[in-house]
A and B are shown apart, each in its own frame.
Chain A
């Protein structure tokens, strides 16, 4: 094709190379057929089943992204808007205010906003959240469980073999259809 001058090669060698090339082609064809049979056109992404999550902190440390693609989400209809939020405060807070010493979140990613007395709204500042699930644990143990972890797909690179999924002790990671990529908690499931 391109070589300026053809190599003075023996035709035996050429024949051998051609045969091996044919064998490789056959192998590739076989592999393609087999793989296409094992593949699926429907795209899936990773997601956490929040009802299986045990808040082990692997999500914060195992993800190939730093900070993790897993973040805490707040589902407001489930939230009790508690003044003493056990997802927000340390177990024995010195006072119920926004002081760093009182907060459970290591990065201060939960924002607390006063509504009408005695209710408070809690929002996740996602860029700060590292997915350590400290708040999730607090909320699940003593609150309604409206905080839970989810894979955020604007950050997840969708590795075929997710590093957190391998490390997940409770098999909470699963593949979900890409057009319904979230597994949110809901009130009906709780009751």
Chain B
């Protein structure tokens, strides 16, 4: 009987227009006779707050230890061991989130939107490595960053990237940084997280695209040292800027450099700057003219970039959910699109006036108009400054790590013959180890 009733009710309901989207109590819950115990729906708790403070504490400890191992102890093995720990902790245990690289976007979003509250942990992950880099150079990259550790571990057969390619690709991190800030500050997308190559590996789950990207980076990373760090990492771009002015940093034995070039060969990241002993353009008038031309070119690039950014601001802004929804609603109302999307259906259900949506979309477009121009001009500036820095003669006359590019992995310590001698002398063994040095030279 009851079953029949239910079937009837079911059929009438089928013909009813669907008024309430969230359901109503159509079938009163039954009252059971014989001792039925109703199961309780579980509510697994979120990760405890104090654990995120542990993460910050581990970050500080790892940064301090990395700086100590790189600068004071000058131990490649120590840094390697620490990086493996960081890979396990920040990568596989913490599942790659929150990470300093992605935190750039949170910070951008928080700085440009007063409504967004950024978690304290994220702020710490953004600021602490920058602070340490300001004093000790990029020790974060070698010992703490799980992405760097991963790439450092797979590097088996390093190939030297030609200088022109290195300089050209070296602009990408800044472009990526600018794009990441543009899309995060406008509240549209977190592209740096979306195209994070290794987070899917840490979680051992992810879309095929993400896993494939990670695998591709690892395979390339076997031959090209740290491809992500050098040619894409936006946080690395920030760190390289700061690291130029760091108080301390990785150095070899500069005063008695014998120009053996072993360190240059040993560095898989192309970070040992070639000393340019003589100026390629000795004629001062020629050089001045060249400088002037480059400055003019930079100005031109900035203007060109700004113009291109202005052109691209509308397509960029369509990545924002509100703008794309407004576009969709407008196209539907104009009869251009027949099929409504989930978003447009949901919007119409809320009964919010279309004008409000358009106004909001307009506001976002306005922000993109400014942001895109700035982004384009910034890209132009990066290209221009790269050209200038490439053509300017360097002042150094010894082989030494470039503070901007050096990720402080400590490989060169083991290879510099002068350094080996120095270490031996400190250890009280006044024997010059000729054989090991020759052995190292071959390898």
Chain A residues near B (Cβ < 8 Å): 1-5, 7-8, 17, 20-21, 24-25, 28, 31-32, 34-36, 38-41, 43-45, 50-51, 53-54, 56, 58, 64-67, 73-84, 86, 115-116, 118-119, 121, 123, 139-145, 152-154, 156-161, 163, 166-167, 169-171, 178, 181-182, 184-185, 187, 190-191
Contact = CB atoms under 8 A, between A and B. Distances in A.
29 contacts: A1-B248, A2-B72, A4-B251, A7-B254, A20-B244, A35-B111, A38-B110, A38-B111, A38-B116, A39-B122, A40-B117, A43-B49, A43-B119, A54-B346, A58-B342, A64-B193, A64-B206, A73-B41, A76-B39, A79-B29, A80-B28, A115-B32, A144-B27, A158-B47, A161-B105, A161-B109, A161-B190, A187-B29, A190-B23
4 shortest A-B CB distances, which residue pairs? A145-B23, A80-B27, A169-B343, A154-B44
Interface residue SS majority, chain A = loop
B30 A80 contact: yes
Contacts of A40: 117, 119-120
B36 interface: yes
A80 B247 CA distance: 70
Interface in B390-411: 400
Contact of B242 (A7, A24, A159): A24
Contacts of B49: 43, 178
Contacts of A73: 41
A46 to B, nearest CB: 9
A20 B22 contact: no
A83 B71 contact: no
Contacts, number: 225
Contact of B23 (A141, A160, A163): A141
Contacts of A166: 189, 321
B27 A153 contact: no
A21 B134 contact: yes
Contacts of A141: 18, 23
A65 B205 contact: yes
B22 A145 contact: yes
Contacts of A156: 46
Interface of B: 2-3, 6-7, 10, 13-14, 18, 21-30, 32-34, 36, 38-41, 43-47, 49, 52, 71-72, 74, 95, 97-98, 102, 105-107, 109-111, 114, 116-120, 122-123, 126-127, 130-131, 134, 184, 189-190, 193-194, 199, 203, 205-207, 242, 244-248, 251, 253-256, 321, 325, 341-347, 349-350, 400, 419, 422
A182 to B, nearest CB: 5
Nearest to B418: A4
A76 B32 CA distance: 13
Contact of B346 (A3, A67, A169, A178): A169
Nearest to B347: A169
A170 B321 CA distance: 11
A69 to B, nearest CB: 10
Contact of A20 (B98, B123, B245): B245
Contact of B29 (A25, A45, A77, A140): A77
Contacts of A31: 107, 111, 127
Contact of A118 (B3, B245, B246, B346): B3
B66 to A, nearest CB: 13
B131 to A, nearest CB: 6
Contacts of B117: 38-40, 44
